Amino acid sequence: MRGRLGFRPAMARDANALASLVLASGEQEFQFLFDDVNAACEDFLAYAIATPNGRFSWRRHYVATVDDAPVAVMAIQDGRAGWLDDPVAAGQFLRYFGARRTAGIIRRGLLLEREIPKPSRHETLMAHCATHPDLRGSGVFRALFQQVIETNRLPASAGQALVLDVLKHNTRAAALYRRLGFVVATCNRPSPRGLPTSLAADRMIFIHCAENGRKTGAA
């Protein structure tokens, strides 16, 4: 994939392209949450990303582009601004899946949230981090991360810690985040009963930028 690399906030018209990227950021989590295959998960994400509100919305995402097409993405979730995210998500589930399936999604979501918690008011969560398969390992996500740091989009509010979650078995992603300046912040703890062991996760916190040593709100 060749072309001009750029960076910008996501737009509603990016929803279909972002759906596949966001799904790739957490296939196992989404499959567990929706109890469905990737195609169905991606269809819901395209619908939810196209909406103006909630944690899935295009408004929460920032992208790296090649010739203006998204090739890498991250979501920025300010813990002080997400108090309506759960009601919005519940409404999206109801409209898309119906009441019977929504009950199971909410039950599994609450279980997953015990392992991968929402950001507190003193945290900004970096989520939905993914790069197009053709560009993985090329430095595109590192460049995207550096861009949002330099433009003060992360953390989203002064005095907040910047955090993210990574599955324990995803050693490649964890190594990338360590190079970016993250360290594991959680101690070993048992996962919630009923949650697949494959979804055991670590919360990581940003200490400094590996490129220039600049400290951030995690101190």
Residue-range definition of the domain harbouring residue 83: 5-206
Residue 218 has pLDDT above 70, yes or no: no
The number of domains in the chain is: 1
Asked whether residue 212 is domain-assigned, the answer is no
Q: Cα–Cα distances in Å, from 65 out to 7, 12, 109, 143, 215? A: 6, 15, 31, 11, 27
pTM of the model as a whole: 0.90
pLDDT confidence of residue 214: 45
User: Within a domain: residue 40?
Assistant: yes
pLDDT in tens, 77-119: 999 988 899 999 999 999 999 999 999 999 999 999 999 999 9
List the CATH number of the domain containing 11.
3.40.630.30
Residue 215 in any domain: the answer is no
Express as a percent the part of the chain with pLDDT over 70.
93
